[in-house]
Amino acid sequence: MAVPNASGEGPTRPGVESLRGPAPSGSAGPSRALVLSIIIANYNACDLLVGCLESISRHPPTAPFEIFVVDDASSDGSAEAVRTRFPQVQLLRNERNLNYGASNNRALGLARARYVYLLNNDTLVLPGALDAMIAFLEECPAAGAVGSKLLNGDGTIQASVKSLPSAASALFGARSVVSRLFPNNRFTRRQLLHLCRDMSRPFTAGLVSGASVMIRREVIRQVGDLDDRLFYHIDADYCRRIWDAGWKVYYLPSASIIHLSHQGGSMVSFRRRVRSVVEFHRGSYIYFRKHDRRPQWHPMHVLAVGCRRTASASPAGATGRTDRSLT
């Protein structure tokens, strides 16, 4: 974990609270180039965030690394917990609640390492996971990004890898009625790759979950920041841009992360459901209009318009963080 200059000398980075403390094992000293920048966005999830940071402390990468926590104006003591319990973490505090993309982009502009690891705050890093992902990127030059295996709290595998969104995924994706009623039909299996691929081996995937994804810095320079208009579909959009730039996206089962799915926000359940519907369809509209330049009569265009109208017709007034999952 990179420790800021304890003397206070050198250029300061506006908006960053440089939290100093004894350098842990594996920290980057003055002569050691950073290999990994870990970025965690947080909003009112103090206990989850502390658990996530503790898991990194227990199972850090062997290479030099730094950690950024971007706190979205939390009111539950999240920032104070980071400041007092994890003094090497670099804390960025937003004056207001932004969104997942904007918060991560703020840290992306400050990250210095060869690889950047976007990690949800509702995760627990398991032994060897970070080293495995770094090693994979080192050994596979065609890989622009690699996603880990995500496990539920009970050890079962999450649906963290799938095909890129399409008209077919609207009918047979994880949220469709067909997939919920008939989860093993062959069309759904083509969309949700954990149902049809050997999950014990690495493979290329249309998209991997943004809950745990490691990206080359040169890829970020090439494709740009996350699209902060999106909440749902933000991982699909970024993976699509990585593929379009000539890189590949991989799933790596030897790197395991526990994802306590959908616990990293704060909202009453009804507002969560309403906002989730709005954001999902709004994100679908943005994604399809952004990536599919086809005639107006094409099914993808019709699907995008339908998503926009559904979002527009949803009840207004739901605000705050929603739970983000694979689309």
Residues 123 and 56 occupy one common structural domain = yes
Higher-confidence residue: 303 or 131?
131
For position 21, what pLDDT does the model report?
A: 35
Mean pLDDT across the stretch 154-166? 84
CB atoms within 10 A of CB 277: 17
Looking at the structure, do residues 218 and 280 belong to the same domain, yes or no?
Answer: no
Same domain, 126 and 188: no
Looking at the fold, whether 249 and 144 belong to one and the same domain comes out as yes
Q: Report the distance separating Cα 19 and Cα 252, nearest Å.
A: 32
Provide the CB-side half-sphere exposure for 236 (13 A, CA).
25
Domain count, the chain: 3
- Do residue 234 and residue 115 come from a single domain? yes
pLDDT of the residue at 198:
67
* Assigned domain for 82 exists: yes
What are the residues facing 66 on neighbouring strands? Answer: 37
- Cα–Cα dist 147/123, whole Å: 14
For residue 305, name the pLDDT band (cuts at 50, 70, 90): very low
| pLDDT computed for residue 307 by the predictor | 44
Which is nearest to 194 in space by CA: 234, 258, 149, 250? Answer: 149
At residue 13, the pLDDT reads 37
Kindly state the average pLDDT of the residues 204-225. 96
Q: Are residues 101 and 190 in the same domain?
A: no
Structural domain span for residue 280:
269-313
Check pLDDT > 90 for residue 53: yes
Q: What is the mean pLDDT of residues 298-302?
A: 49
- The reply to whether 292 and 167 lie within a common domain is no
Based on the domain organization, do 136 and 221 belong to the same domain? yes
| pLDDT tens track for 73-119 | 999 999 999 999 999 999 999 999 988 999 999 999 999 999 999 99
Claim to verify: residue 191 and residue 203 sit in the same structural domain: no
232 and 304 co-located in one domain: no
Please report how many Cα atoms fall inside a 13 Å half-sphere around the Cα of residue 103, on the Cβ side: 28
Positive or negative torsion for Cα 77, 130, 152, 239: positive
> Which of residues 279 and 71 earns the better pLDDT score?
71
Residue 125 resides in a domain: yes
d(CA 13, CA 63) in angstroms, rounded, equals 24
C-alpha closest to that of 324 among 176, 175, 217: 175
Residue 227 has pLDDT above 70, yes or no: yes
CA-CA-CA-CA torsion sign (156, 161, 165, 166): negative
| Euclidean distance between CA atoms 324 and 233, whole angstroms | 9
- In this structure, the answer to whether residues 291 and 254 fall within a common structural domain is no
pLDDT mean across residues, the chain: 77
pLDDT recorded at residue 173: 54
Relative to beta strand 212-216, strand 143-151 is: antiparallel
Residue 8 lies in a domain: no
* Predicted local confidence at residue 143, as pLDDT: 99
